[in-house]
Amino acid sequence: MQKLTILLIVSSLLFSNANAQSGTQNQKSAGQQSAATSPKNSGPAPDYSDLNCWAASPYKEDTSDKIPDFLKNETREARADVFFIHPTSYFGEKKGSPWNADLRDTTVNNNTDNLSIRLQTSVFNGSCRVFAPRYRQGNMEAFYVFNTPEAKAAFDLAYSDVKKAFQYYLKHDNKKRPIIIASHSQGTLHAIRLLQEFFDGKPLQKRLVCAYIIGYQIKKDAFKKLPVGERANQTGCFVGWRTFAKGEIPKGAVAENGNSVCVNPLTWTTSEAWASADLHLGIMNNFETIVPHTVSASIEPTAKILWIDTQVVLDEKKSKMTNYHRWDYNLFWMNIRQNVKDRIDAYLLK
């Protein structure tokens, strides 16, 4: 097949450094946060009765409402809710930058809205009402010193906001509707905690359509009762993957010793067999172009990461792409969109 050159408009500002978040966190010292020079956090706590504290909400117009022209004739019905936890969009790389983002930071908010919310969260708007809270996310630099008390405090603060937003949503908005939990990268770090606290073996699990927790390690023992998805129409389960080029096993994944769970978004199973590009419904390009049948994929059996094979060039600046962390959603945008509908259908048939 002729080589395709496709430039996905997914800025490097959208996602945290993939090497920091794609596997076990590497402890690096050069240029990292210092407890002596960095304040613990930044800005006031969110008030989720204020719509400004939501990056996406059905009660306001936002970038999660965007629909590509090629889907203008699509039948859409919001039969469930998605609670989406966005990835890192705060890169306080200067010495002395706070450990946590300020919700009043317009640069951070614009990065979140124009990239993650528009390109990732919009995948759910064909079938769901979309709720995506702003939260005092941890500085990307904290991932490099993940096991330090300062980094732990930063991520605990971020999660406390996510939890508060979810509790507000449950009390004021859910009204016993089916729920999808979705996330990417740092968002998945917090989504795993949220699922453990509110869904895993809890009554709320009965309302869970599926959790799409993508772009972060999911340990085999992450959940006690919440099962991994093994078929495309399974409900009350979770799915997730981390995407790399065929043949690539990053050092972080090696250090995990296989303690990870991965689902192939072409088959929606944990089978390690290669899935043909015939199953691929399309990469989202520039929000207005879908390129189908261009990605095949399998689960690498030792590290449990997703390997892909594609002739599509996602970044002309790199002669060879090996880490597809930024494109975890966009590579399979149409597969995810269709699967959300299928799982909601199955849930409602119950």
Mean pLDDT over 47-65 rounds to 98
Q: Is 137's pLDDT higher than 70?
A: yes
Residue range 22-45, pLDDT digits in tens: 434 344 443 444 554 567 667 899
Domain-located, residue 323: no
- Structural domains in the chain (count): 1
Mean pLDDT of 233-238: 98
Judge whether 278 lies within some domain. Answer: no
Q: For the domain that residue 198 is a member of, what is the CATH number?
A: 3.40.50
Instruction: State the alpha helices, DSSP H only, in the chain.
Output: 18-21, 106-111, 118-119, 149-169, 186-198, 251-255, 333-349
Domain that holds residue 24: 14-243+335-349
Tokens of 124: 């759910």
Contacts of 66 (CB under 8 A, 6+ apart): 118, 122, 125, 287
Instruction: Specify the pTM.
Output: 0.92
**30 phi and psi, to 5 degrees?**
-65, 125
In a domain, 272, yes or no: no
Residue 270 lies in a domain: no
Alpha-carbon span 68 to 84, nearest angstrom: 20
Are 3 and 112 in contact by the 8 Å Cβ rule? The answer is no
Is the pLDDT at 330 greater than 90, yes or no? yes
pLDDT of residue 36: 47
Q: Would you give the DSSP letter of residue 12? A: T
In a domain, 312, yes or no: no
In a domain, 186, yes or no: yes
Q: Is residue 76 part of a domain?
A: yes
User: Is 135 part of a structural domain of the chain?
Assistant: yes
Q: What is the pLDDT of residue 319?
A: 64
Q: What's the whole-number mean pLDDT along residues 158-174? A: 98
